[in-house]
């Protein structure tokens, strides 16, 4: 059931207009022509705030529910259990939080009109406070593997796919279109783009979320996407500073250690962040990683004064908003308690505190630090001024609300969907075609088998079905037989039997490893003698772990609808493969040598 918010409920109320007017916000033209006047106004707002209101403004919090005031009972129960409030409006009234982060699992993102209504409800609650302030609503809309707002919004290829396309024009267009759609539903900060340089194929948390392994290429794509988002009045957020690309530990569950020297950091990790700053980036997110060459204390970067202030602020000259990665992640909780983490982050130079596991503990920890003098109140004012500048720059004081008409004319339009499909066609990468099997002639009988990982938000189904439907529509006779990411021996044998009589088998892998079940599946299919076309559904490194004998191999970099449909058109020869590897694929038997270098990609 769709929760479509009425047009009237999305319009700005008279009371809210009065609240905004009381802030004295000038027109965008006036604000851009006089930088001193906005700061004067914003400092006047800060001067009216209590210590508790200032502390709250630093937090960006999760909250359950599709509505700011009337969530479902299960979401009320979750809010009471985790936050001590019933809904978003109570959260804002109690803690004065400066931002909200939307998640699919928190039931914030059902459909565009519902999201717009939730956003307006949140803004109304913010403007009903003693010191009325709009909230900065954010989400992780990276596209590809990480997407919180799904269909009917436009979903683009992810970062590594865009890196394979190599077009800064496409990256800027992605940011501009995605930003316009996010803004239309009230989301004014996107935790994207990922500025990490993925030089470690074993990286468990970044991988295809990165544009690639070439620092200069990643820097160009990051800068382009930043400009696109901010042209649509959405704050872009480069992450994860000082660079999460060479890790083998997931900071959600542990504390990664980067062993680069300071010189290697400057050459490998820093260029995309420098480029983002040069492009006028609104926000930069820190990483929960240890980087001994940058800070020998082994504090995570999020809590490191030498890294956040010494390098990001002073060396790189960045004076925009710095936000932590989620404070619920283990990488930032191993060394200090949840009451100390926010204090140490502020002392390091951070401005926004993202989603601590226990807001009351974090809030009271900051209040105690201010009361004791450990954290002077002027230090809070510094961060709040940066946050309010960002809100003002992105138009939240002047235009905090969105409308149903804006949703309808912006989100998932035919032109936007066509742009995404066209981009995806430029990213699909043909890694191998030794027999010249591809493109496949129309009318062939195909079996599609392989991994069916959980789909990112808003996709229409598992990869085998999406690909089967796309190829059927292109004139093929298709049977789909999903076997999962850990196929059993019985499933492998059943797939081999099903291959009999087919003209070709298309097998999708998802992070296959040496000797793993997915590799055994491919080997069993090759042994049937039926031509096997391999499709790497996520990391392009999978091909290194396959037994020889496959007829062709392609990389899609993700398993979303837009990328799979593009792959189908490439398989059918409707478009030629144009992607080029943005990372090197090392040999499985000797990782010091490349099976395929950066820039590899075949055509036909």
**Residues known to be catalytic:** 252, 325
CB neighbours of 315 closer than 8 A, spacing ≥ 6?
none
* Of 303, 219, 320, residue with least CA distance to 267: 219
At 450, list the tokens: 């392989």
Q: What is the DSSP string of 310-374?
A: IIIIIIS---SEEE-S-TTSGGGTSSS-TTTHHHHHHHHT--BEE--S-HHHHHHHHHHHHHHTS
Asked if 158 contacts 221 with a C-beta cutoff of 8 angstroms, the reply is no
d(Cα 573, Cα 475) in Å, to the nearest integer?
A: 12
* Residues 30, 171: Cα–Cα separation, whole Å: 30
How many Cβ atoms from other residues are within 10 Å of residue 75's Cβ? Answer: 21
**Three-state secondary-structure class, residue 536:** strand
Give, in order, the Cα–Cα distances in Å from 243 to each of 352, 353, 402: 19, 19, 35
CA distance 190 to 234: 7
- Residue among 310, 298, 308 nearest 334 (CA): 298
By the 10 Å C-beta count (0-12 exposed, 13-18 middle, 19+ buried), 202 is classed as middle
Q: Quick one: tokens of 460? A: 């229409």
Name the CA dihedral angle for 543, 545, 548, 552, rounded to a multiple of 10 degrees. -20
Residues in CB range of 63: below 8 A, 6 or more apart = 79, 83, 85, 87, 88, 91, 100, 106, 108
- Distant-in-sequence, close-in-space partners of 443: CB < 8 Å, separation ≥ 6: 475, 476, 477
């Amino acid at each position: 059931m769709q929760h479509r918010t009425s047009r009237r409920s999305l319009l700005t109320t008279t009371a809210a207009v009065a609240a905004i007017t009381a802030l004295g916000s000038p027109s965008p033209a006036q604000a851009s022509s006089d930088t001193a006047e906005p700061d004067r106004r914003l400092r006047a707002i800060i001067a009216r705030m209590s210590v508790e209101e200032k502390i709250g403004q630093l937090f960006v919090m999760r909250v359950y529910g599709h509505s700011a005031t009337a969530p479902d009972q299960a979401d009320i129960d979750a809010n009471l259990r985790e936050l001590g409030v019933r809904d978003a409006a109570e959260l804002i009234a109690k803690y004065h939080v400066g931002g909200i982060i939307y998640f699919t699992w928190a039931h914030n993102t059902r459909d565009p009109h519902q999201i717009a209504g939730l956003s307006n409800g949140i803004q109304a609650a913010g403007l009903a406070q003693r010191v009325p302030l709009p909230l900065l609503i954010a989400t992780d809309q990276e596209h590809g593997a990480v997407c919180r707002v799904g269909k009917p919004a436009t979903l683009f290829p992810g970062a590594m796919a865009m890196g394979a396309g190599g077009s800064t024009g496409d990256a800027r267009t992605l940011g501009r279109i995605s930003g316009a759609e996010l803004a239309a539903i009230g989301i004014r900060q996107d935790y994207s783009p990922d500025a990490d340089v993925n030089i470690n194929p074993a990286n468990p948390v970044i991988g295809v979320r990165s544009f690639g392994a070439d620092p200069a290429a990643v820097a160009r794509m990051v800068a382009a996407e930043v400009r696109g988002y901010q042209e649509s009045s959405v704050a872009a957020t480069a992450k994860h500073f000082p660079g999460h690309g060479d890790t083998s530990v997931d900071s959600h569950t542990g504390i990664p250690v980067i062993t680069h020297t300071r010189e290697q950091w400057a050459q490998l990790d820093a260029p995309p962040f420098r480029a983002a700053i040069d492009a006028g980036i609104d926000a930069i997110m820190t990483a929960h990683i240890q980087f001994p060459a940058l800070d020998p204390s082994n504090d995570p970067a999020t809590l490191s004064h030498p890294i956040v202030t010494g390098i990001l602020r002073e060396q790189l000259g960045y004076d925009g908003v710095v936000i932590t990665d989620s404070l619920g992640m283990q990488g930032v909780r191993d060394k200090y308690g949840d009451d100390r983490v926010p204090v140490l982050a502020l002392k390091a130079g951070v401005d926004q505190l993202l989603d601590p596991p226990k807001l009351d503990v974090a809030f009271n920890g900051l209040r105690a630090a201010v009361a004791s003098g450990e954290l002077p109140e002027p230090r809070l004012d510094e961060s709040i001024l940066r946050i309010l500048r960002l809100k003002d720059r992105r138009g939240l004081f002047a235009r905090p609300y969105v409308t149903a008409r804006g949703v309808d004319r912006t989100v998932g339009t035919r032109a936007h969907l066509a742009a995404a499909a066209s981009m995806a066609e430029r990213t699909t990468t043909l890694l191998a075609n030794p027999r010249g099997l591809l493109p496949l002639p129309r009318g062939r009988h195909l079996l599609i088998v392989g991994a069916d990982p959980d789909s990112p938000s808003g996709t229409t189904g598992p990869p085998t079905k999406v690909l089967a439907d796309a190829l059927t529509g292109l004139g093929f006779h298709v049977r789909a037989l999903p076997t999962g990411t850990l196929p059993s021996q019985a499933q492998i044998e059943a797939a081999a039997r099903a291959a009999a009589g087919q003209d070709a088998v298309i097998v999708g892998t998802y992070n296959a490893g040496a000797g793993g079940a997915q590799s055994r599946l491919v080997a069993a299919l090759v042994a049937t003698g039926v031509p096997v076309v391999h499709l790497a559904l996520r990391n392009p490194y999978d091909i290194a772990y396959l037994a020889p004998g496959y007829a062709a191999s392609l990389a899609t970099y993700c398993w979303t609808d837009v990328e799979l449909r593009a792959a189908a058109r490439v398989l059918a020869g409707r478009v030629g493969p144009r992607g080029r590897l943005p990372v090197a694929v090392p040999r499985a038997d000797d990782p010091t040598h490349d099976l395929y270098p950066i820039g590899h990609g075949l055509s036909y």
